[in-house]
Amino acid sequence: MLEDKNPERTSLSELGEFGLIEHITKHFNTNHTSTVKAVGDDAAVIDASEKQTLITTDLLVEGVHFDLSYMPLKHLGYKAVMVNLSDVYAMNGTAEQITVSIAVSNRFPLEAIEELYAGIQLACETYNIDLIGGDTTSSTKGMLISITAIGKADKEDVVYRNGAKESDLIVVTGDLGAAYLGLQVLEREKQVFQVDPKNQPDLDNYTYLIERQLKPEARKDVAGFLKELGVKPTAMIDISDGLSSEIMHICSQSKVGCKIYEDKLPLDPQVISASEEFNMDSTMIALSGGEDYELLFTVPISDFDNIKGNPNFSIIGHVTAENQGMNLVTRAGQEMELKAQGWNALKED
Ligand code: ADP
Ligand code: MG
């Protein structure tokens, strides 16, 4: 995991807004030829070339989307970038720039903002992203972060949610449910800590789960894998809210139904053991957990041989006619209607 903790506390008011912006952006370099002007003018300038431009934004609010009692600021900065890059990759595009806007209350010292930006910078370096601007303001309570990612793709490469066709295969990258269980582990430890701050948690059995929650990686690699295989998805989406609600987006926009097979859902062994420990159904978690930032896509059945056996991909079902609805085939062979429950719904159970 990422290093954190800086014992110094410098008040943000000592620097002022311009001092702060200068301080947090000075260590960033730009790499892309499409970045004509980054931080420092009234607007950034991008040379959009002949490709299509992809733009996506996410707003993260303290207490709603993140809890700083177990989310280190450096991880938060990293994850906030991932959430956005994931949306660009879900369009089968390349991400090149981000803007970062923050609102912070006076509870945060400069060192906290430095940690946040250290995570943002690590994400930018790892994923080859230019930070080109943003906005900085104060909030009366807590922290807000809004990131916009800008990417590009050739017109013929862009993949939308609405292109899935009957008989297409449904494919997912990586594995499912770990990020949600990581959150459960962290919330449990937070409660234990509140009761007895001397209690040192033993998290060895949950390292993968916690990593998936605190340091997710966006699937930058998938577009390249698909290109190598000569496969172009008919529809694609990233899994931020949980598999079933994302499949529903593809089905409703493509006007199709689907059949998902319970025994095909990719689960890490830690997901299976932690589900048992938390007395939760691992299938339910895989379907509704959320925050996995994997990609879900459909491909024509003629691509079966290209996809099957590839360790990056799991074929979990197929597309059906719209009037057949969206169904899960259980291990026992029963068909159940898929319910669109994001992780919020799961939490209320
Ligand atoms: P303006 O008054 O035109 O809004 P600002 O003083 O807010 O300009 O910003 C100055 C420059 O710094 C701009 O290029 C802006 O995009 C950039 N910037 C401001 N805040 C941030 C931030 N939190 N992260 C990255 N860049 C920022
Ligand atoms: Mg501004």
- The full DSSP string for 93-155 is -EEEEEEEEEEE-TTS-HHHHHHHHHHHHHHHHHHT-EEEEEEEEE-SSSEEEEEEEEEEE-G
Q: Kindly report the protein residue whose alpha carbon is nearest to atom 3 of ligand 1.
A: 42
Give the per-residue pLDDT at 343: 45
Percentage of the residues of the chain whose pLDDT score is greater than 70: 95
Of 25, 46, 113, 115, the residue with max ligand 1 atoms within 8 A of its CB, to mutate for a pocket test, comes to 25
- pLDDT at residue 3, as a whole number: 54
Ligand 1 centroid–CA 39 distance in Å is 7
pLDDT of 142 higher than 90: yes
Return the pLDDT at 6: 56
Neighbours of ion ligand 2 (CB under 5 A): 135
Q: What ligand has the least distance to the C-alpha of 134?
A: 1
**pLDDT(32) > 50:** yes
Query: In the structure encoding, which two tokens stand for residue 325, read together?
Result: 């609805």
pLDDT (mean) for 240-246? 94
Answer whether 0.85 is exceeded by the pTM: yes
Is the predicted pLDDT of residue 36 greater than 60, yes or no? yes
Nearest to 80 by CA among 152, 144, 139: 144
For residue 225, what pLDDT is reported? 97
Confidence bin at 200 (pLDDT 50/70/90)? confident
How far does the centroid of ligand 1 lie from the alpha carbon of residue 345, in Å?
37
What ligand has the least distance to the C-alpha of 20? 1
What residue has token string 């916690």? Answer: 210
256 CA → ligand 2 middle, Å: 44
Q: How far is the CA of 135 from the centre of ligand 1 (A)?
A: 5
Q: Is residue 347 scored above 60 in pLDDT?
A: no
Residue 102 CB–ligand 1 contact under 6 Å: yes
Is 151's C-beta closer than 6 angstroms to any atom of ligand 1? Answer: no
202-213 pLDDT tens trace: 788 999 999 999
Q: Taking 50 as the threshold, does the pLDDT of residue 331 lie above it? A: yes
Which numbered atom of ligand 1 lies nearest the CA of 99?
Answer: 25
Per-residue CA distances from 69 to 148, 159, 251 (Å)? 25, 38, 38
Report DSSP letters for 145-214, one per residue.
Answer: EEEEEEEEE-GGG---TT---TT-EEEEES-SSHHHHHHHHHHHHHHHHHH-TTPPP--GGGHHHHHHHH
Digit-coded pLDDT (tens) for 6-26? 567 899 988 888 999 999 999
| CA separation for the pair 292, 262 (Å, rounded) | 18
